[in-house]
């Protein structure tokens, strides 16, 4: 409901419906905000290139796109990449326990260092990190970041 105040110089009492929002901290349901020209995105999630990071102590992980895995198990952890992904989808692994293996899903590969790998990438140190990006939907990953003296690839 929109109300014009008694002196006729503005709207009062409306929030969340129609074209007018009259509160300083309103709750808007699925607004179409357009493209902002400025702002602070420090508390936003789902930004392009952003990973949702979580520590994981298990030894077998079925990875999901957009996630970063901090591996804390004292035993070797196998992270299996998904077989369904889009161009631009990303996955990251950061070791903080034992060594790890990134296993490729069926009919997928990783292109790196002028080679194509179809089985796995394995860390040589427990603190190695790896970030991958999908470059061909559902078939090919590429390394976009790596912190390791060397990965064992096959």
Concatenated DSSP letters for 34-46? ---SS---TT--S
Coil/strand/helix, residue 109? strand
Strands (E), 13-76: 52-56, 60-62, 67-71
Coil/strand/helix, residue 111? strand
Contact 85, 138 (CB under 8 A): yes
Q: State both tokens at 82.
A: 């998904």
* Residue numbers of the chain with a pLDDT score lower than 70: 1-23, 33, 41-49
In a domain, 30, yes or no: no
pLDDT digits (tens, 9 = 90+) for 91-136: 999 999 999 999 998 899 999 888 999 999 999 888 999 999 999 9
In a domain, 16, yes or no: no
| Residues above pLDDT 70, as percent of the chain | 78
In a domain, 124, yes or no: yes
What is the pLDDT of the chain when averaged over all its residues?
Answer: 84
Assign residue 89 the CATH number of its domain: 2.60.120
- Give the domain range for residue 131: 52-153
Instruction: List the one residue out of 131, 43, 39, 49 whose CA is nearest residue 121.
Output: 131
In a domain, 28, yes or no: no
């Amino acid at each position: 409901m929109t109300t014009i105040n008694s002196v006729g110089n503005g709207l009062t009492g409306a929030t969340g419906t129609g074209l007018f929002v009259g509160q300083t901290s309103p709750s808007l349901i699925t607004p179409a905000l357009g493209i902002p020209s400025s702002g602070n995105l420090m508390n936003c999630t789902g930004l392009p290139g952003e990973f949702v990071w979580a520590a994981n102590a298990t030894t077998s992980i079925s990875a999901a796109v957009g996630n970063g895995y901090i591996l804390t198990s004292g035993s070797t952890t196998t992270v299996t990449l998904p077989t369904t992904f889009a161009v631009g989808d990303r996955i990251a692994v950061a070791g903080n326990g034992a060594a790890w293996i990134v296993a490729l899903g069926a009919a997928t590969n990783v292109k790196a260092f002028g080679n194509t790998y179809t089985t796995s990438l394995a860390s040589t140190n427990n603190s190695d990190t790896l970030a991958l990006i999908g470059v061909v939907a559902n078939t090919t990953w590429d390394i976009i970041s790596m912190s390791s003296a060397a990965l064992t690839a096959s």
